[in-house]
Amino acid sequence: MVNERRKPGVLIYFDLKPCLQRLTNEQRGVLFTAILDYAESGVLPELGDDVAVGVAWDFIKPRIDRDDEAYTTRIEQARAAANKRWGASTDTDVCGGMRAHTDAYERMPTSTSKPTSTSASSTASKGGEPLAAAPLAPDKPKARRFIPPTVEEVAEYVQSRSSPVDPQGFIDYYESKGWTVGKSPMTDWKAACRAAEKWERWQTNGSATPTTQARATVKSFTEIAAELEAKLKAQAP
């Protein structure tokens, strides 16, 4: 075995441990020296008549040869990649065929700062005229999540407009439709309330709506309590 170039070392595998345990310290030293010499120079060692060391060597030598071939393959692949990247050249070192001198540093930019939009628009040109920088697209506003109004909110808005819309009727209607206008989700209940002013259900020749009439016939708890208190005072001696 003759190495194409000098390797940095040799691999020792853990499964060699059982072989070493059968050897004396002196035999281990002989075997280890033989491993280093063969891996470095490719010269077969002279082990003499020591059968135990010879058996261990026969087990180790094929692995050294296999690792050497794999190492040589990696070097060839690295050299091929370097030649493909930089082009074939005789100006290479002895460590893997990499070029020792290239103009890579000459082609590197001298400044890492990013060009401004002004410099980019002035340098990039077509037909001798500078190209204007593309305007940035404005961020789209996020749609607000619709929250259905309460009866009190609708009543306050209806009162501020003197609208004929019945607040509870308005809410009952759109709750039954899932707060949609047509097939689209509602986004502005006030706009829907203004549109509801044209509904015929609120236009009953100026009379109150059924909901309003029903409310008018029902006395509030405060009114009932006041009447009851008046009757008690009248009956008192």
The domain ranges of the chain are: 14-86, 151-235
Do 130 and 169 form a contact (C-beta atoms < 8 A)?
Answer: no
**What is the predicted pLDDT for the residue at 179?**
94
Specify which of 8-17, 27-36, 154-163, 220-229 reaches the highest per-range mean pLDDT. 154-163
**What is the predicted pLDDT for the residue at 147?**
92
Alpha-carbon radius of gyration of the chain: 48
- Structure-token match 């749609």, residue found: 143
**What is the predicted pLDDT for the residue at 231?**
78
Q: Is 136 left (phi over 0), alpha (psi -120 to 50) or beta?
A: beta
Residue 31 makes CB contacts below 8 A (sequence gap 6+) with: 20, 23, 53, 56, 57, 60
- Structure confidence at residue 53 as a pLDDT band (50, 70, 90): confident
Better-scored residue on pLDDT, 63 or 123: 63
The pair of structure tokens assigned to 1 is: 């075995």
Q: Please tell me the least confidently modeled range out of 5-19, 83-97, 173-187.
A: 83-97
**What is the predicted pLDDT for the residue at 158?**
92
**What is the predicted pLDDT for the residue at 142?**
73
In whole angstroms, give the CA distance from residue 12 to residue 77: 24
- Structure confidence at residue 128 as a pLDDT band (50, 70, 90): low
**What is the predicted pLDDT for the residue at 108?**
55
First CA to last CA across the chain, in angstroms? 133
- Structure confidence at residue 132 as a pLDDT band (50, 70, 90): low
Do 82 and 99 form a contact (C-beta atoms < 8 A)?
Answer: yes
DSSP the chain: ---SS--S-----GGGHHHHHTS-HHHHHHHHHHHHHHHHH-PPP--TT-HHHHHHHHHHHHHHHHHHHHHHHHHHHHHHHHHHHH---S-B-SSSS-BS--SHHHHS-S--PPPPHHHHHHH-EETTEEPPPPPPPPPPPPPPPP-PPPHHHHHHHHHHHT----HHHHHHHHHHTTSEETTEE-S-HHHHHHHHTT-GGG-STTPPPHHHHHHHHSPPHHHHHHHHHHHHHHH--
Model confidence pLDDT, tens digit, residues 150-185: 999 999 999 999 999 999 999 999 999 999 988 899
Section 7-32 average pLDDT = 83
Q: Max CA-CA distance within the chain?
A: 140
Do 190 and 183 form a contact (C-beta atoms < 8 A)?
Answer: no
Model confidence pLDDT, tens digit, residues 199-220: 888 876 444 444 444 444 445 5
Per the prediction, the chain carries an average pLDDT of 75
